[in-house]
Amino acid sequence: MDRAVPRSVEAVDEARQWGRLMELARIGAIPGDGVNRQALTALDREARRLLIGWAEAAGATVTVDAAANLWLRREGTDPGAAPVLTGSHMDSQPAGGRFDGIYGVVAGLEVLSALHQSGTVTRRPIEVVAWTNEEGSRFAPGCMGSMAWSGFRPVESFAGIADADGVRFGDALAEHLAAEADIPRRPLGFAPGAAPHAYIEAHIEQGPRLEAEGLEIGVVTGIQGSRWFEVTVSGDSAHAGTTPVSLRRDAVQDALRALNALNDAMHDPADVLRFTVGRIAVSPNSSNSVADMVRFSIDLRHPDAAVLGPRGDAIAGVVQAALRNCTATVAETFSAAPTEFDPGVVAAVEGAAAALECRHALMPSGAFHDAQFVSRVAPAGMVFVPSRAGISHNPAEYTAPAQLAAGTRVLAKALLDLAA
Amino acid sequence: MDRAVPRSVEAVDEARQWGRLMELARIGAIPGDGVNRQALTALDREARRLLIGWAEAAGATVTVDAAANLWLRREGTDPGAAPVLTGSHMDSQPAGGRFDGIYGVVAGLEVLSALHQSGTVTRRPIEVVAWTNEEGSRFAPGCMGSMAWSGFRPVESFAGIADADGVRFGDALAEHLAAEADIPRRPLGFAPGAAPHAYIEAHIEQGPRLEAEGLEIGVVTGIQGSRWFEVTVSGDSAHAGTTPVSLRRDAVQDALRALNALNDAMHDPADVLRFTVGRIAVSPNSSNSVADMVRFSIDLRHPDAAVLGPRGDAIAGVVQAALRNCTATVAETFSAAPTEFDPGVVAAVEGAAAALECRHALMPSGAFHDAQFVSRVAPAGMVFVPSRAGISHNPAEYTAPAQLAAGTRVLAKALLDLAA
C-alpha cells in the first residue's frame, strides 16, 4: 500500500479476522460449513462471550442495553463528541452461513484491534454494536434490536411474540439479560440531541452482482422495502377416508388456491419484486386427517415504495377472493419502507474505496439490514463484500479471506475519516 | 327385549360402557372434548392399565405380544377350540375424538363383563384385542399391530420408523414392553392351522350415512383400499430479498405445481376417490429464506382396486412432470388393497342386528381398520354405529350412549352365535 493509507488501516489483519470468523462459526456449526445460531440462545451467548474477550483485549469497554444489543466502545479524544458506529448482528438463519451478520461485527472489532495495535487516536469515540435478533427466524420480525434502539418500536412490544417452541421473546430476553448481568448496562437508544455522528454496517452482499462484475466493494446507497404477512386459512379437520372431497373444508386445498392466486397477483415480468413463501405450518398435520388450519408467511420486497405499497395492500383481497370453503385472516407482521442512505456516509465509503484502490460500485441492497432502522435516526451507510454465486441464508455462503479483509480496510478508512 | 334375546346380551350395560369411555377419554384429553393419545406413549400405557383393571374384574386373563397388542381372554368350555376375536385400537389422532378405536375395545370388554355378570358360558374362548398403533399418526403407517399379528409385515420391519421427535418405533416398542414386563407374554400371531374362528370389530362409522338414513347399525361388507405416498421436493435455499424469482429453485413453488397437477389428475366427478394431502413440512421453514425442501403426504383411497391401482401408480409421473426447477422423489409408504369381509361373519352380524330389531344396512367402510389385516388370515367383519354429522378425527366426534350400547348388543349377539 502507498503511504496515503493510514497505519491503522494497514494494521487490519486478514488472518486474524478470518481466524475469529472461523472460531465463531464453530458455535452452532451445522453440516456443510453452515451455522444455526438463533437469537438469545445459549449458542448466541457463547458467541458473544468470545467476542467480548477479543474486544477487551483490544482495549474496548463492553456494555449491553435493555434490548440485549451488545456494545464495544473505544474512546476518542473528545469525550463529548457523538460517536461513530459500526456493527451488524450475530444471529443466523436456521440453515445459515458463516458470514451473514457476524462479518459486520467481526469487521468492526478488527477495526478496533487495528486502531489499538497501531496506537491510533480518533477524535470521536468508535462503537461496535451487535444488534439483537436481526434474522427474525426465531422471533419474527427481524431487526428487533435496531428497531428498539432507534425508537421505531418499543422493546416491550415484542414481549409476547413466541418462537416455534412457544417461548416468548420477553422471557428469552429476560433470561439472556440475567445471563449477562455481569456486563455493565447502558441505556437503550440515546439522549435527545445526542444521536450518533454516523453508522456504517459491513455485510456480505447476499447477491451475485459484485462477483459477476469483478468488483471488490459495494458502496450501498439504500435498501429495498420489505413487508411481511402471515396468512391463516381455517377449515375443518375430518377423516381422510370417509369424508367426500366435495364436503370438505380442507385448509390445505384453500391455502393452495390462495397461493396460486398470490403467485398470479405478485408476478413481475421485470423480476424486481421479490415474493417468497418460506414458512408453512399445517394442523393437525396428519397424513390421514383433512387439515383444519394452514398458516403461511409472505415476504414481499421492492425498492420502490410506489410498487411495494399497492402490491402489499392487495394481498388480503387476493387471498379472500381465492378461498372456496374456508375462512382466512391476513396479518401484516413487519413493514419497512425503502431506505435511502445518507449522502455523506455514502461519500465516505466511496471515498475510502477509492483511496484504497478497490474496484467498487454504487448499488442498492436487496436484503434488509439493521442499517435500515439506524438510518431513521442517524446518518447511515453500508459496505458490501462479494458473496460467492450470490448464495446466502445457506451453509454454502462464502466470501474469501482477502475479500473480507478488503471490506474491513474500506470500513476502517471510512470510520477514521468520519471520526476525525 | 323379548325372550329371544340372551340374558348375556341383556346384561350389556349402557351406563357402564359410557362411564368407561368417558373415564378413558380423560387420558390425553384436549380442548373441545377431544383426545390426543398417541401409540406407545405414557398416556397409551395409562389407558391400557385402566382397561386391564376392568378386564381382570370381569374374570379375563391379560397377555401382551411382541407387537404390544394387548389381549383379554375369557375361556370357553372347549379348551382346544379356536377363539372368537373382537377388538380395535386405543391410540388416537393428534386432534382426535373419544370414540374412534377405543369404542371397539370397550365394547369387547363390555361383552366380557356382560358374559361374566350373566354367568354365560360359551364353547369357544372369546378374546378382546387392542391393536398397537392403528392411527399411524405418531409412527406411519398405521395398523402396525394387526399387520404384524397377521404376518403381513414383520414387526422388526417397523423398527427404524421415527416419530416427529426422532424417536424410533423399535425403541418406543422396547420401552413400552419393558413398562409392561409384569404382564404375561403371548406369542405374536398364531400357530399354523390355529387361526381364530372369527373376528368382529365394532367401530364408529366416521361418515354420515347411518345418521342420514336413520339407521342404528352398519353391517360392514368390506373396506376400501388405501395407498399412502410421501413426496419430497428438493431445491436450494436462498435469501428471499436478494435472489431474483427467476433464478430460484424454490421447493415451495415446485410443490405447489405438483399439488396442482395432482389435484387435476386425482379429480373424480363421482366423488368416490378420496385424495388427501394432510401433512406438509418445509425446510428451513423460515419466512425470509427460499425453501430447499418440501415434503408432503398423500392419502388415496377407493373401494375398487381397478381404480385405486392406476390412480396411485400415476402419482409419481404426475409429480415429476409438474416440476420446473426442483427434483422430487415419491415413495409409497403404505398400501392396502380393497377388502371384502367373510360372508359368514357378515351374516352373523346381520343376523344379530335383525334378531335385536335394530335398523341396519349393509355398507362398505370408508376408513381402514385393523379388520382389514385380520381378514387376510381369519374370517372377519365389522359393526358400525352412527357418527354425528359424520365427523371423526376431530374432537367433535360423537355417538350417543344408547347408540353405542345398541352396537355392543349386536356385537355380543354375533360373538355368542359364533362362539357357540
Sorted by where each starts, the structural domains of chain B and their CATH numbers stand as 7-224+338-419 (3.40.630.10), 226-336 (3.30.70.360)
Q: Give residue B243's pLDDT band: very low, low, confident or very high (50, 70, 90).
A: confident
- A window 350-409, beta carbon within 8 A of B: 365-368, 390-394
Q: What angle do CA B286, B290, B294 make, to 5 degrees?
A: 80
| pLDDT of A2 | 43
Separation in Å, CA of B215 to nearest CA in chain A = 17
Answer whether B301 sits within 8 Å of A391, measured CB to CB. Answer: no
**Whose CA is closest to A260, among B255, B302, B353, B19?**
B255
Q: What angle do CA A386, A69, A87 make, to 5 degrees?
A: 25
Q: Within 13 Å and on the Cβ side, how many CA atoms surround A40?
A: 29
Report the length, in residues, of chain B: 420
Answer whether A286 sits within 8 Å of B271, measured CB to CB. Answer: no
Whether the per-residue pLDDT at B79 is higher than 90: the answer is no
Q: Does A205 touch chain B (CB under 8 A)?
A: yes
pLDDT tens for chain A, 420 residues long, are 344 689 999 999 999 999 999 999 999 999 999 999 999 999 999 999 999 999 999 999 999 999 999 999 999 999 889 999 999 999 999 999 999 999 999 999 999 999 999 999 999 999 999 999 999 999 988 999 999 999 999 999 999 999 999 999 999 999 999 999 999 999 999 988 899 999 999 999 998 889 989 999 999 999 999 999 999 999 998 889 988 899 899 999 999 999 999 999 999 999 989 999 999 999 999 898 999 999 999 999 998 999 999 999 999 999 999 999 999 999 999 898 899 999 999 999 999 999 999 999 999 898 889 999 999 999 999 999 999 999 888 899 999 999 999 999 999 999 999 999
Q: What angle do CA B366, B368, B369 make, to 5 degrees?
A: 130
Q: Report the distance separating Cα A419 and Cα A120, nearest Å.
A: 12
**Nearest chain B residue (CA) to A137:** B286
**Nearest chain A residue (CA) to B259:** A256
Contact B17, B110 (CB under 8 A): yes
Q: Does A277 touch chain B (CB under 8 A)?
A: yes
Beta-carbon pairs below 8 A across chains A and B: 240
Q: What angle do CA A37, A38, A39 make, to 5 degrees?
A: 125
A123-168 pLDDT, tens digit each: 999 999 999 999 999 998 899 999 999 999 999 999 999 999 999 9
Q: Does B212 touch chain A (CB under 8 A)?
A: no
Q: Report the distance separating Cα B20 and Cα B111, nearest Å.
A: 13
Q: How far is CA B278 from the centre of its chain?
A: 17
Determine the residue type at B16. R
Beta-bridge mates of residue A63: A71
Whole-number mean pLDDT of chain A?
A: 95
What are the chain B neighbours of A236 within 8 Å (beta carbons)?
A: 394
What are the chain A neighbours of B250 within 8 Å (beta carbons)?
A: 276
End-to-end CA distance of chain A: 21
Predicted ipTM of the assembly = 0.73
Separation in Å, CA of A336 to nearest CA in chain B = 13
